[in-house]
């Protein structure tokens, strides 16, 4: 049987390393890579990055083929809008409404999950969840450490075959265990009619069912084959 193409996870990194306080998008990508590579179903996933991204780079990449996941490793704005690099090397927020319209166009082509690894993205997540099956955003500020801990565990669970809902729950528990602020942890939203526990990045085609061994009953010294008892007088005789 020919397996389908692996699910693509596109990591969009629109941050500038020259701006103080910018999250280390490279570190988050490395943590994701380290968690996926040794996983049971790593062959079912492909990790790609869009580094030093400007706003115009995102639609160009999506047009070439819709990924299953778009992960924004970015900076948010308290008033709304993910920040992308500008021509002068700075950053500027983009329109939440515009981003929602853009990503919605690729849901029918296979986009299933959007992860907003940035501060103040709860409202954006709410808008996206009107059409995107699963969206993860954060209501307030979140530390770089919190982002790394959550992302590492989330993608490890997904690459081991867990559903989006289960992977999110595991990642939240891990991040809280490591000391993250419980009021600023990522939240999962779903589109109407979508059940996150039933949504998987690893398709059923990649899952090898366990081999079942049929154990035959063992005798206790007695023969399991019935033998025909001969009548007195030999074969065909009568008593």
Provide the mean pLDDT of the chain: 87
In a domain, 212, yes or no: no
Instruction: Say which residue, 103 or 142, is predicted with more confidence.
Output: 103
pLDDT computed for residue 27 by the predictor? 86
In a domain, 218, yes or no: no
Interatomic CA distance for residues 138 and 136, integer angstroms:
7
pLDDT at residue 237 tops 50:
no
In a domain, 226, yes or no: no
Looking at the chain, the whole-number percentage of residues with pLDDT higher than 70 is: 82
Read off the pLDDT band of 124 (50, 70, 90). very high
The number of folded domains in the chain is: 1
Interatomic CA distance for residues 154 and 150, integer angstroms:
6
pLDDT computed for residue 1 by the predictor? 63
pLDDT computed for residue 226 by the predictor? 45
In a domain, 1, yes or no: no
Query: By residue range, what is the domain housing residue 127?
Result: 7-206
In a domain, 195, yes or no: yes
Q: Which of 22-26, 90-94, 202-206 is predicted with the least confidence, judged by mean pLDDT?
A: 22-26
Interatomic CA distance for residues 202 and 27, integer angstroms:
24
pLDDT at residue 21 tops 80:
no
Which among 37, 41, 46, 35 has a CA at the least distance from the CA of 8?
46
Average pLDDT over residues 212-239: 52
In a domain, 213, yes or no: no
Interatomic CA distance for residues 4 and 1, integer angstroms:
10
Interatomic CA distance for residues 42 and 32, integer angstroms:
12
In a domain, 238, yes or no: no
pLDDT at residue 106 tops 60:
yes
Interatomic CA distance for residues 123 and 166, integer angstroms:
23
Read off the pLDDT band of 222 (50, 70, 90). very low
Over residues 27-61, the pLDDT tens digits come to: 889 999 999 999 999 999 999 999 999 999 999 99
In a domain, 74, yes or no: yes
pLDDT at residue 209 tops 80:
no
- Give the domain CATH number at 95: 3.40.50.1460
Residue 78 near residue 122 (C-beta atoms within 8 A): no
């Amino acid at each position: 049987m020919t397996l389908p193409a692996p699910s693509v996870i596109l990591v969009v990194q629109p941050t500038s390393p020259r701006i103080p306080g910018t999250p280390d998008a490279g570190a988050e990508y490395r943590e994701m890579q380290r968690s996926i590579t040794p996983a049971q179903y790593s062959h079912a996933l492909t990790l790609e990055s869009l580094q030093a991204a400007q706003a115009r780079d995102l639609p160009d990449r999506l047009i070439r083929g819709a990924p299953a996941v778009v992960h924004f490793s970015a900076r948010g704005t308290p008033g709304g809008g993910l920040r992308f690099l500008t021509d002068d090397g700075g950053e500027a927020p983009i329109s939440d409404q515009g981003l929602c319209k853009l990503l919605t166009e690729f849901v029918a082509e296979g986009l299933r999950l959007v992860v907003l690894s940035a501060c103040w993205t709860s409202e954006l997540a709410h808008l996206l969840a009107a059409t995107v099956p699963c969206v993860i955003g954060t209501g307030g500020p979140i530390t770089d450490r919190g982002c790394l801990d959550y992302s590492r565990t989330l993608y490890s669970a997904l690459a081991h075959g867990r559903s989006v809902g289960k992977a999110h729950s595991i990642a939240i528990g891990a991040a809280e265990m490591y000391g993250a602020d419980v009021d600023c942890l990522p939240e999962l939203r779903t589109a109407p009619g979508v059940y996150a526990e039933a949504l998987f990045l690893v398709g059923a085609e990649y899952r090898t069912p366990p081999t079942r061994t049929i154990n035959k009953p063992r005798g206790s010294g007695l023969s399991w084959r019935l033998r025909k008892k001969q009548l007195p007088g030999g074969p065909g005789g009568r008593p």
